[in-house]
Structure 1
Amino acid sequence: MNQNLIKTFQQRGYFNQCTDLDNLNKLLDNKKIKLYIGFDCTAPSLHVGSLVQIMCLRLFQQFGHTPIVLLGGGTTMVGDPSGKEESRKILTSAEIKKNTSGIKKVFNKFLSSKGSNKFVFLNNEKWLTKINYINFLRDYGKHFTINKMLTFDSVKLRLDREQSLSFLEFNYMILQAYDFLELNNKNDCTL
């Protein structure tokens, strides 16, 4: 069954990179998993570029896996630097809430909310806004090196073009990593 899932992904052109295809195959062969994709709430609806990610979640669900739709209520407060030439506009809490509400409507059209593998909505605002900054730096900051972070495209391109990158945006990838840790610890999410 797993081989069909991976094959379907490849046939549809959904695969660009895979860190460890052998381990992914083993993981999918051994059990049904929970997986997530995150969507920041920067606009009242998603753009067409998000459709591929939604279809990936749908395909996994059709093969019996449980999709988690992670709404980035917390990360939206920071702003994803990827593909941007300047800092995103800081949105108010009211704007983020309104956008979150609009975005949620999209998923019922593509994902099933019935059965043992019904999709789940989570919002990273729930845990990110409760972080104690000093404890966060001490517990998690030590696992990230500036050297490595500077090699990521979202950072490297902005610096190569001599475009400013705020400290706020620079932290975005750490918050993404923390999201996965939270999802793994509290929701048994593995992908």
Structure 2
Amino acid sequence: MPRQARTRQLLDMAWALISEEGTDQLTLGRLAEAAGVTKPVAYDHFGTRNGLLAALYEDYDVRQTAIFDTAVDAAKATMHEKARVVAASYVDCVLTQGQEISAVVAALGGSPELQAVKRSYQHAFIEKCQRIFAPFAGTAGVSNAGMWAVLGAADTLSQAAADGDISRSQASDELMQTLLAVVKRSA
């Protein structure tokens, strides 16, 4: 099997294992066993368990970014519509992956290397949103602090929706209002 196809197979199997058993049970040995490959194959693709977790986070982020970018590009060029689409896309991406991404994010916080991977994607999201909302903000643009607030709200509201504490629409609506408030304050 070509390397790229094998990596995809291993990532898909890792997501399935997380769904069934959680991240605590996810090891490269367990992944190899479930995927029907030898341990050296799994180690060759990811190096370490942390490498696997980082690859899972990246896999999620690549898919989330593609969905997010497509939706934002298709949205009308108004502040309200861009905020609605950003909020809905963020929540939907988390809900699509379900509890599995929450488990990976929790595991990512466990080491400095994995925290660095997560932070790089957080910074990319903040910069993207600052570009999206620049036309609606003042000359200084949307503040970093405001975007960190939005990101915190996005993560918390999405998790609450994934946990069933609030609905998808409640999470999206609250996130949209938070985003609008931050952008309006910058104007």
TM-score w.r.t. structure 1 length?
Answer: 0.32
Higher strand proportion: 1
